[in-house]
Structure 1
Amino acid sequence: MTSKKIVVTGIGATTPLGGTSPDSWRALLAGESGIRAIEAEWVERYELPVTFAGQARVPAAEVLERPEAKRLDPSSQFALVAAREAWADAGAPDVDPVRVGVDYSTGIGGLWTLLDAYDTLKEKGPRRVMPMTIPMLMPNAAAAAISMSIPSRAYARTVVSACASGTEALVNAYEHLQAGLADVVIAGGTEAVVHPLPIAAFASMQALSRRNDDPASASRPYDVNRDGFVLSEGAGALVLETEEHALARGARIYAELAGGSVTSDSYHITAPDPEGSAAARAMKAAIEVAGAKPSDVTHINAHATSTPVGDIAEYNAIRRIFGDHTSNIAVSATKAATGHLLGGTGALEAIFTVLALKERTAPPTINLDDQDPEIPLEVVTSPRALGDGPQLALSNSFGFGGHNAVVAFRDYR
């Protein structure tokens, strides 16, 4: 089968840095942090050990009409805001809905709806549980909401693979476009779990940073003093289409989605393989699908959650593939600014990768005061020009369960 060129024609995001993709990108380049103290009474009520998170800078309920927002879990609200921005950014293509697909993801789904409904059941009885509870909590609710809003009738698919979900959705979209299942696909991921239960649970497993006295500096990938990730919320969406379709309608093209790959560690339910062998295979395969070689890669948006073991495992994977070329790659760890959006993080970081290629500028990694000598990457700490030559960039995502997903983007000329 002849390979088609797949391109990015629209982007949208709502994040701890900003309510739109441009606002989030500007704040990222400016070195801002989206992490702040949680101002909710439940922090004190439950005596949570972690009192901060990456909360959406603009609540989705303030963007959507009230009747619409009330019928959606916050995770679906974020997804709809991001998808509508991306669709408008792509010029609101006039496409037969049967040729439009949705590949959207989440790591957990409608958690707020589920837990609020359980509280209602316990406190007020079954008659008070909302009729819309199931449609709001199901993991495919975000994909369904996007599909009905655009509209999309080719398909609406949901992938759930923890923190790799958003990137895996992009890999799926690439493959679906190659297979001819659609001409245009809206792909991405969302998460809304800044809630006392996930905070308590992640803290219990020693996964979260506990810098309650300085939230803005809590997410610090590669720093010797990193002590865990920061839980965040938000969503990202990309409009993808075949180059032929995009050119025929005169669309603006940001970059080419050149390839992607998914692998599994088969190692541990939460810890990454410390050798990074499966993660390395995912990077290698994404590069091969792109018709490139490791020495062509100029930029990586790393998964880099700021956990002591995760950052080293990813470095080992990178070193396996790139060897001495590792020192030539500009590495950005944008979770330092955004925190970790779980199922939404891959989509957001793909957007940052696309914008880095479009503007030929690698975004900075903040909070890196003392780089771990065991991770000698060429980390970007202030906006860095990528140069005038051809650019190939990777965006990495790795999730609980041993899920690895990598996408490769090429600058479009």
Structure 2
Amino acid sequence: MQTSLTVRSTTPSTVWLARGRHTPDSAEDVLRRSLQQRKDSQTIDDFMELPADGAAPAERVFQARWRAGAGVTVRARLSVRPDAGDGTGQEWILVAEAEEPWDDAWPSPTALFWPEEPDTAWEQDPGSGLALGAINPLPQDDREIRRLLRNAVRGGWHLHVVVHEAMTTDDRGRTPVARWLPPGLRPRVVEHRAAPQQLRGLNWALRDSGVEVPRGGAVVLPGVPAPEGYEAQDFSVRAVFLDGSEPADLVDAVKRFAALPRPLPDGAQEALTALREDWHLLTVHEELDRQRALVAMYAEALEAMTKSRDLYREAAESAHEALAAYQQTADTAPVVPQPSGPPAASPLQQLTRTLERFKVKRAVPSAGDEASTAVEPVTSER
């Protein structure tokens, strides 16, 4: 199984994600018309297009809000990148978040942003060019199959299902599995179809993924990064009857895979953060609550500044008082005269020095004394 070395946050249970590419007309015009129609029909509560930054072509952002299920508020953000000029169209990312855990039975956010007309080509995977929610036949070359599947599963945006046709099917067998899935899963599934003779080459191409497609069966690919708890045998279907009936086992496998905790896809963290922190489509009550929160925040900041000012003033006054007291003490203290010469010797030191000089004189006699001692006069008696 392929794994990713990058640690990613898990997709919150309240979040719904999708990514695609729109061709060939201006996606902004299509979104404006579609969202206005949804608002007029009260399918959504409101929408807005955020103003563009600068004159250069930049990412355009649309925000919409509606209620799903039993009045659960959903906020969604769709960003459209400018056309690269290579004819591939405009890439878009859609992030929706509900106040409760997401229910795939709710309407798909893509169906509320994009029109349902068949000539509007927005259901396309930007990485591989494959159709979302539709059948995509595999290439004939085995190496092309390997390259296609390896690149298609990167990023973690879509759920990839590979189905092998045990025999050539008729029109009834050309029904995509997305038809049987709940609305919230349909635009997230990419279905790959292998012809009867492609089974060996298909499994050779999938060997790096650690999965294998049974003959006449199907498998849900783990993707990169793989969700926690994925085991190949749990998402492999032994037989899929392509006769127009519901492939119950395959539908169950796709639902169970979608319920696994999945890492956030590439680039989804930035889009989710923008949805939460740069939301502009507020109701009157939300705007009032927001202004009240701002007033409370400013009042708290002002109170903190006032307390800091008072503390600073008290500290300054204490410092001035301490300085004044020090100066007053210094002015009233008596001045002690300092001796100008070296300190006088004590009487004991003077007596000691006198005795030392006297000893020196007694120990060393003078030259006159030596002469008088050597010559002594002799007197005679009369």
TM-score range for the pair, normalised by the shorter chain length: under 0.3
TM-score, normalization by structure 1: 0.22
Higher strand share: 1
Q: Which has the higher relative contact order, 1 or 2, with Cα contacts under 8 A spaced 6 or more apart? A: 1
* Superposition TM-score, scaled by structure 2 size: 0.23
Larger Rg: 2
